[in-house]
Amino acid sequence: MAQVASQRIDQLQDPELSIEQAIVDYRKLGYSENWINQRIKSIEVRKALTDEWHRTGVEKGQQYAILTDIITKAWSGLTTKQYKHHKGLQKENLRDNMTNIEITLNMLAEASATELSIQRDPKGFIGQSKVARDGGSVAKAARDKLESQLGKSVISSAKASDYLIPPEEDGPKQIP
């Protein structure tokens, strides 16, 4: 326990250590390097968005959750709760169970919402609600275009446990 506490103190002093630990943990779980890189980038994009929400007066907690739902529903057609249900998740993290395409579309929606917010400078939750819808609609347009080219939905019911086998077994399978 003392070692864990010492590591946590080190991570507080050097946040890069937390990122490195997350990469190690994702590798141990069997995620591909490409997926890990996208997931780490998605954390950066999400942080920029929540920083922007904070700057414009949105309150953490429920308001962040509602805005996240607005963005997610705008691009995927599902709220986060519905999306988790679609994937058969209980308490697992939705983003950790997204495919590469799903993560990319989610990042596009959040990055778009961030940029739109910077440009429009809305105040508070009500102003950010429209920005969230508009940011999500950018990713929805990209999703629609991709699906028309693929001839199938990119919203997958797949979850990490469907693809990942711990490395000590047959080696990791990559999440698509």
Confidence of residue 176 (pLDDT cuts 50, 70, 90): low
Round to whole Å and give the CA distance between 84 and 86. Answer: 5
Show the CA angle centred on residue 133, arms to residues 88 and 48, nearest 5°.
85
Runs of H (alpha helix) within 56-123: 62-76, 80-86, 100-120
* Predicted confidence (pLDDT) per residue in 17-52, tens digit: 788 888 999 899 888 888 899 999 999 999 999 999
What average pLDDT score do residues 101-109 get? 97
State the Cα angle at 1 between 26 and 18, rounded to 5°: 35
Determine the average pLDDT of the residues in 118-128.
97
Burial class (CB in 10 A: 0-12, 13-18, 19+), 170: exposed
Q: What is the pLDDT of residue 5?
A: 62
Instruction: Judge whether residue 13 has pLDDT over 60.
Output: no
Question: 100-120 and 62-76 helices cross at what angle (nearest 10)?
Answer: 120
- Provide the token pair at 56: 């414009």
Residue ranges of domains in the chain: 37-163
As given in the structure block, the two tokens for residue 165 are 């086998």
Q: Give the gyration radius of the chain's Cα atoms.
A: 17
Tokens (6 digits) for 77:
């057609």
Task: Give 35-39's long-range contacts (Cβ < 8 A, gap of 24+).
Answer: 35/100, 35/103, 35/174, 35/175, 38/100, 38/103, 38/104, 38/107, 39/95, 39/96, 39/103
pTM for the model stands at: 0.84
